[in-house]
Amino acid sequence: MLSIVHRNIGWIEVICGSMFSGKSEELIRRLRRAIIARQKVAIFKPKIDTRFSDDHIVSHSELKIPSKVVESAWDILEQSLEAQVVGIDEAQFFNNDLVLVCQKLANMGKRVIVAGLDQDYRGEPFDPIPQMLAVAEYITKTHAICVICGNPANYTQRKTPNKERVVVGAADIYEARCRNCFEPPEESKKEIKLSAGNRGKAQETSK
């Protein structure tokens, strides 16, 4: 008979996708299960996200769970020392320090669950989520429904001309789009054309 060795092993779970894809809803579901199991849970969100509540994580489907607001990723580390499970929402609003903090927490034997956008409004990777995916043990990719055609949506369409990368908003500013219906901003279209032109020149040079 095999003997079971109990070890204090931690890990990182990442839930990523476009807006309206159920990321926060899935995060809340996992955290509630941990609470039901009587585990010590610490839940955080960035100070910048005050769309629905100052002291709760709230999904677009109106599920919610109490959370703490923090200014930096390092605040999460300081306030999670007694927790067994750490939940972090809207991870794209933190800087790359979040990756190091999550790894430290996992190395301390904690289950770390992170939810966030993996692409910005231009359809480009949204730091620090790509780095989090590289170090995570478990990854869940969620999809919304395209508001134009009804196909699986993987992109977040911004409906305003604001060119800042971080603009906090909900359905008033954003909507979910599939690959075919997504319309990147003009600056991204120019970059795509320039990149394609450079690849063409490189191919000609290599012949």
Domain boundaries, the chain: 11-201
> For 5-49, how does the pLDDT look when each residue is reduced to its tens digit (9 = 90+)?
446 789 999 999 999 999 999 999 999 999 999 999 999 999 887
Task: Quote the pTM value.
Answer: 0.83
Calculated CA dihedral for residues 35, 49, 127, 61, nearest 10 degrees: 60
Q: What is the H or E stretch that residue 74 is in?
A: helix 73-78
Residue 135: is its pLDDT beyond 70? yes
Q: Which one from 13, 25, 26, 90 is the annotated catalytic residue?
A: 90
Q: Measuring CA to CA, which residue among 56, 74, 75 is closest to residue 66? A: 56
Q: Is there a catalytic annotation at residue 137?
A: no
CATH of domain 11-201: 3.40.50.300
Residue 182: is its pLDDT beyond 50? yes
Q: Measuring CA to CA, which residue among 105, 109, 80 is closest to residue 7? A: 109
> For 71-117, how does the pLDDT look when each residue is reduced to its tens digit (9 = 90+)?
999 999 999 999 999 999 999 999 999 999 999 999 999 999 999 99
- Residue 166: CB atoms within 10 A of its CB come to 11
Could you give the count of Cα atoms lying within 13 Å of 191 in the half-sphere of its Cβ?
A: 8
What's CA 76's distance to the chain center, in Å? Answer: 16
The 3-state DSSP class for residue 101 equals helix
